[in-house]
Chain A
Amino acid sequence: MTMRPSATFDTPAIAEIQRAAREGMYAIRGFGAKRRVPHFDDLLFLGASISRYPLEGYREACGTDVALGTRHAARPLRLDIPVTIAGMSFGALSANAKQALGEGASKVGTSTTTGDGGMTPEERLASDKLVYQYLPSRYGMNPDDLRRADAIEIVVGQGAKPGGGGMLLGQKISERVAAMRDLPAGIDQRSACRHPDWTGPDDLEIKIQELREITDWQIPIYVKVGASRPYYDTALAVKAGADVVVLDGMQGGTAATQEVFIEHVGIPTLAAIPPAVEALQELGMHRSGVQLVVSGGIRTGADVAKAIALGADAVSVGVAALIALGDNSPELAEDYAAMGTAPGAYDAWHEGRDPAGISTQDPELAARLDPEAAAQRVANYLRVVTLEAQTIARACGKSHVHNLEPEDLVALTVESSAMARVPLVGTSWVPGASVDPARRTS
């Protein structure tokens, strides 16, 4: 008798049907999309040789600074490196983790971001440059914190779940988290997906005006969207008056979301950048007017350089920053095994039992994370990816990473070629290059 497993009903599919039948509830988890999608790995840089001249890799200067929010803000955010820390809430993460992210970012001259739970004093103190998220839930929303922030990020959506709201299960609603969110402790908290007092770009324009009035037109206002229709969303954010558009691809992380949402809603980061850049270019806003920050699956300096070459001004890291803090560390193999998982696969961030002390509010677990050591790891990581991006930029003959351009890239696969709109390597072919704008789907 031969054993023939089904390709359609494969082992994970069968296991999920069985789990659903048993539990009567959809699966929730953290991390981000785990399926394989076309990504930056499918692109390669064309280093200089005879037709182009490289810069000395270890000696000649290659700039990495970036100014975000030059359109309307009196005080744009000036970062030393084009890599920032994405928004992650106190609640999803421990106070120690938030503090370590802030300190790590500050050591290398970049910004970190609050999340769906308000601003903690620790993270404000730890962060030289702090972006304050303004979310549908408005948990902990406070005009004093708004003015204390170095930029405001109006969150419309998130790459892991465009069209969905935040989620924090009761295990993580400690007394402190509950107090910051004005909620009873221990409940399962599900945030709104739309803002309570505006819907659509015409009303967003008025909301942006209010936030500027309250902050005296001093600080930049970002608009963050989950990547789904980036051409339109970018154009509308610009029309509504945004200084910066933050575009989060489907590989972006989340602390807790329905698995079906994580894996099946939104588009890959690679596919999202070119339409957003096209919208900015059509509006005459690319680079000089409205800055584009890209996130979702950024891991290495190569990813950073590729995102910038495709037109981003900066990138944000979330999952990678958590890994730098110590998430999924092999040192915790025993703890993970006890939970039925393993280093590299731990994604039950919603449960609050994180042995690394990061995605938890349990005081004992949280105390496992030494914020100073963790901050140093984050700083090291950010430094490395910046050095890597510089290495690539110099090899392409650029004295600033921002001078990387799509023409420095080729694609390894037909899919990535079509999505990134760069030629398939060894050819001059870009599949789908002349798409009728009226038929645009992303």
Chain B
Amino acid sequence: MCGISALFAKSSSIERELGGLLAGMLHQLVERGPDSAGVALYRDPVATGTKLSLLSSGDGVDWVGLAEAMGDPVGASSVVAEHGDHAVLRVEADADAARAWLAEHVADVAVIASGQAIELHKRAGLPTSLLDRCGIRALDATHGLGHTRMATESRVTTAGSHPFSTGEDLCLVHNGSLSNHNRLRRELRRQGVTFATENDSEVAAGYLMWRLREGDPLNAALEAALEDLDGFFTFAVGTRDGFAVLRDPIACKPAVMAETDDWVAMATEYRAIATLPGAADAVMWEPEPAKVYSWSRAEVAA
């Protein structure tokens, strides 16, 4: 039960302000989700190697020291950003090698996202605290997703905060409540998907990861989700060059989409979109049930 926002820049001026604009959208959705917040920004893609978004179960991690320690075995490594219990590191190796090294050498640090462009920040507590402490407003990005959470049946923790990673440069935010996530989690575990929480949304993310791993393109994976996930959901999925939106066939949980020459946005409530420049003149609609909407940079350029 939550607030979602997604913003995709179609112009360089929006890219420069994207962190601030997304933060402004999220600020409007605080009442929908006062328990925790998260933001995924797609920015500064690395030509080689991987960006890792890391989450520690403690606050006292020496991220610079960790980067140095990783640098030797997995290639040059540097800290992109650090915010107490989480940080974004850049490594020359691929994500699997970095994950393996971390699993072997560092007990309490988890990879919450990885890819060439994604940088993921999330924490329990009021969304405004995330926006302030992580300096989201000052960051540029090509696109980003944000989430504010009102926890329903799983615990309020940073690990249980959205977005959830669904693979390289992929992440998912969810508003709603799935009704078959326990059964699905058990099946996915048998398929080798790991879960850190009892959260229903993490199951949706794990499901997408599994479908993509099996070779589905994103749209096909989302269409398969319509068959396999039961309950009420509005999803926004961030991809390397865009984002996608999907609602369940009944589509009770609210969602508004809007587009101008400069941006495409999606939010749980209109008030989040109203903060964007030119919102008053945007083309606006509510996404239809059981229909995948997606945007990518390639399409915009074409």
Contacts and interface: CB of A to CB of B under 8 A. Distances in A.
Q: Are A and B direct contacts in the complex by CB distance below 8 Å?
A: yes
Interface of A: 194, 199-203, 205, 229, 232, 236, 239, 437-438
A280 B177 CA distance: 22
The interface residues of chain B, by DSSP majority, are classed as loop
A201 B152 contact: yes
Contacts of A202: 1-3, 31-33, 150, 175, 268
The 9 closest A-B pairs by CB, nearest first: A199-B252, A202-B32, A202-B1, A200-B1, A201-B1, A232-B153, A202-B150, A438-B198, A201-B150
Given A202-B1, A202-B32, A205-B32, A239 B153 contact: no
Contacts of A201: 1, 150, 152
Contacts of A229: 153
B1 A236 contact: yes
B235 to A, nearest CB: 15
Nearest to A441: B153
* Size category of the binding interface on chain B: 20 to 34
Interface in B19-73: 31-34
9 contacts: A199-B252, A200-B176, A200-B177, A200-B253, A202-B32, A203-B253, A205-B31, A236-B150, A239-B34
The interface residues of chain A, by DSSP majority, are classed as helix
Contact of A239 (B150, B154, B268): B150
Contacts of B105: none
A393 B172 CA distance: 54
B210 interface: no
Nearest to A201: B1
B155 interface: yes
A438 B182 CA distance: 13
Contacts of B176: 200
Contacts of A199: 232, 252-253
A201 B232 CA distance: 13
A194 B152 CA distance: 18
Contact of A437 (B34, B155, B268): B155
Interface in B148-193: 150, 152-155, 175-177
B254 interface: yes
Contact of A438 (B1, B2, B155, B252): B155
A79 B293 CA distance: 54
Contacts of B232: 199-200
A72 B194 CA distance: 44
Contacts of B155: 437-438
A194 B254 CA distance: 15
A252 to B, nearest CB: 23
Contacts of B268: 202
Nearest to B232: A199
Nearest to A439: B198
Contacts of B1: 200-202, 236
Nearest to A440: B153
A199 B1 CA distance: 9
Of A200, A201, A202, A437, the most chain B CB neighbours within 10 A belong to A202
Contacts of B198: 438
Interface string B268-281: 10000000000000
A205 B232 CA distance: 18
Contacts of B34: 239
A229 B154 CA distance: 12
B140 to A, nearest CB: 30
Contacts of A437: 155
Given A200-B232, A200-B252, A202-B2, 19 more contacts: A199-B232, A199-B252, A200-B1, A200-B152, A200-B176, A200-B253, A201-B152, A202-B1, A202-B32, A202-B33, A202-B175, A202-B268, A205-B32, A232-B153, A236-B1, A236-B150, A236-B152, A239-B34, A437-B155
A357 B152 CA distance: 44
Nearest to A209: B31
A438 B32 CA distance: 23
B152 A232 contact: yes
Contacts of A200: 1, 152, 176-177, 232, 252-253
Contacts of B3: 202
B1 to A, nearest CB: 5
A347 B33 CA distance: 44
A194 B252 contact: yes
A253 B150 CA distance: 32
Interface in B111-159: 150, 152-155
A428 to B, nearest CB: 29
A205 B150 CA distance: 11
A200 B155 CA distance: 17
Contacts of A232: 152-153
